[in-house]
Amino acid sequence: MGFQSIDNIYSYNLFSPLSGMPNSISSNDLGEMFVNPASLASLKNLKLSLSLFSNEKEWWERQEYRPNRQLVTLPFILEGLFVPNRDYDGWYDHEAFLQDTMYLVQDPDLGADVYEKNASDWQEKKSRGGIDRFMIGFPLHYGDKNIVLAFSFINNLLLDNYDRNQTHLNPHPAWDGYSDMPDRVTGAEDSIRVTWSDYERNRLGALNSWTFNCSYSLTTNLSIGLTYNKISGDTDDMVQLETIGHFDILEGYNTYKFRYDSVRHNTQGTSKFNISNISIGGIINGEKYRAGINVMLPHKIKRNWEYNYVKNMVDSSSSSIDKGLDRMDMPITISYNIYFKPHEKFALSSNYINLPFNNADFTYAGDDSLYSKWIDKKLFSFGLSYWLPSNIILTAGVQTMSQSYIPDGQAFNNIGPISKSIVFGLQLPRFPSGGVISVFYQKNTLKYYDLYFSNTNWTSENFNRLDITYSISF
């Protein structure tokens, strides 16, 4: 599992809808301390904030196998169009075809959008909700200067992650990206065995975050700030590889035997994450604009893990326990923010960050050849706000975020698949208690494909999130 999905914590803190993405560094929203540590320097009164959330995340995938000159009928099995008869287990495929009257290949589904949910081979959904964060900010006035201290506790930095490959092949006979593609079987003396398994990976858990912030107005046009962030928590991890059968490719073109098998490799346990980082920010304040920069200093991400490995076969089983410490060293990370209000009822904002995972150093307790190299993750957001009568504020924004991995068979190896989000918000002030309620809705969509000589896997990952925040000033 390694550090799978740990990159989520950076996009959450820096681009959370709760930070008022379309209002970045524009107001005294306590959540903006995650966008820029200097953003609260103008806070004049004690302020409290409590947030609730509801999050639903879904994954699904469609696999399409293509017949080829080397193996004409084998893809029909992997595609699910033909299920081998167990009465002919271990037979040559062409002999089973002649003898088995039930050797029927189904017609493939045509016309469906390959990324649509109703065209998928498998689906997975996880839902969460509850209290998300508590924040407090209080100013300390020193003459005409303003020092603001703030604290935040978050208990739902979600690391939920899921992946599945129902046609895991080892070795893969039609892909050389793992440096293990076997030689082609073209003669009577040639043979290889390809093991077909159902692979499943699941990580479920949420981390806690304690954040301490201090911001200070150096002048009326310049603010600085510092944030210390402590993140820790556990996840439940599971990786399972269940063997379905073996393809013995023999003697030449389209000559193979299929044999069922039943072996299950199950790895299950926990990961304990521990992260500490410091950010330094500055904001230049103009009459109609604010421009900020946030520098997150180099820091370490530690993962203590303990796994139980179980191997179940038809007539025996075995198990073992292993543990270790993995570490990721993150380099300096810089983000930029700008806010522009050309009219009293209208404002624009934008944020950008490049998370330099490509330059991160990884240290694994186990074999690091099992892990793919990470690449930089780039996030960009743009939003607008409009003030209605009674200080009701409507907000809308878009966000793009490249992933920290490259799917198999991609033409470009310097940027990952790009997810797209839309965010809508509504701020309702002047409640009888004097508080303000902010509601944000975010819809995120990610689509990408893995391309092999033999097949294409079309993957979709989506989530919908609703955040409700109540803030009150004294």
Q: How confident is the model at residue 21 (pLDDT cuts 50, 70, 90)?
A: very low
Q: In this predicted structure, which of 3-17, 51-65, 192-206 has the lowest mean pLDDT?
A: 3-17
Q: Does residue 168 surpass a pLDDT of 60?
A: yes
DSSP code of 407? -
Report the distance separating Cα 239 and Cα 313, nearest Å.
Answer: 17
Question: Mean of the per-residue pLDDT values for the chain?
Answer: 88
Residues 293, 291: Cα–Cα separation, whole Å: 7
Q: Is residue 14 pLDDT above 50, yes or no? A: no
Residue 197 has, within 13 A of its CA and on its CB side, a CA count of: 21
Q: Which helix (H) or strand (E) holds 8?
A: helix 8-15
pLDDT higher at 22 or 267: 267
**Position 11, amino acid:** S
Lowest mean pLDDT among 139-143, 145-149, 194-198, 234-238: 139-143
- For 11, 270, 305, 322, 342, the CA distances from 302, given in Å and listed in that order, are 19, 13, 10, 17, 45
What pLDDT does residue 134 have? 94
Question: Residue 12: what pLDDT?
Answer: 64
- State yes or no: pLDDT of 429 exceeds 60: yes
CA atoms within 13 A on the CB side of 13: 32
- 16 pLDDT above the threshold of 50: no
Residue percentage of the chain with pLDDT more than 70: 95
For residue 432, the model assigns a pLDDT of 62
The helix (H) or strand (E) run that includes residue 77 is helix 74-79
What is the average per-residue pLDDT within 210-236? 94
Using a cut of 0.75, tell me whether the model's pTM lies above it: yes
Q: Hey, is 440 helix, strand or coil?
A: strand
pLDDT in tens, 432-468: 667 888 899 999 999 999 998 888 999 999 999 999 9
Residue 15 has pLDDT above 70, yes or no: no
Query: Which tokens is 346 given?
Result: 């209208």
The band of 370, judged by pLDDT with boundaries at 50, 70 and 90, is low
Alpha carbon distance 27, 450 (integer Å): 43
Residue burial 341-350, b: 16+ Cβ < 10 Å; e: rest: beeeeebbbb
Res 97 pLDDT > 50: yes
Distance of CA 56 to CAs 123, 400, 415, 465, Å?
13, 19, 26, 6
Lowest mean pLDDT among 113-122, 176-185, 437-446: 176-185
* pLDDT tens-digit series, residues 297-307: 999 999 999 99
Contact 426, 438 (CB under 8 A): yes
DSSP state of 144: T
Percent of the chain's residues with pLDDT above 90: 55
Q: Which of 25-29, 36-40, 92-96 has the lowest mean pLDDT?
A: 25-29
Residues 6+ apart with CB under 8 A from 49: 30, 31, 133, 134, 135, 136, 469, 470, 471, 472
- pLDDT of the residue at 454: 86
Can you tell me the mean pLDDT for 115-128?
93
Tell whether the model's pLDDT for residue 106 goes beyond 80: yes
Q: DSSP assignment, residue 42?
A: T
Q: What are the structural domain ranges in the chain?
A: 8-431+443-473
Instruction: Kindly calculate the radius of gyration of the chain based on its CA atoms and give it in whole angstroms.
Output: 27
More confident of the two residues 364 and 19: 364
Angle, vertex CA 282, rays to CA 227 and CA 439, nearest 5: 65
CA angle in degrees (0–180, nearest 5) for 206-210-215: 140
Distance set, CA 150 to CA 43, 45, 341, 407, 463 (Å): 10, 12, 26, 41, 30
The CATH topology of domain 8-431+443-473 is Porin (2.40.160)
Task: Decide if 130 contacts 178 (C-beta within 8 A).
Answer: no
User: pLDDT for 376-425, tens place per residue?
Assistant: 999 998 989 899 988 888 999 999 999 999 998 888 888 999 999 999 98
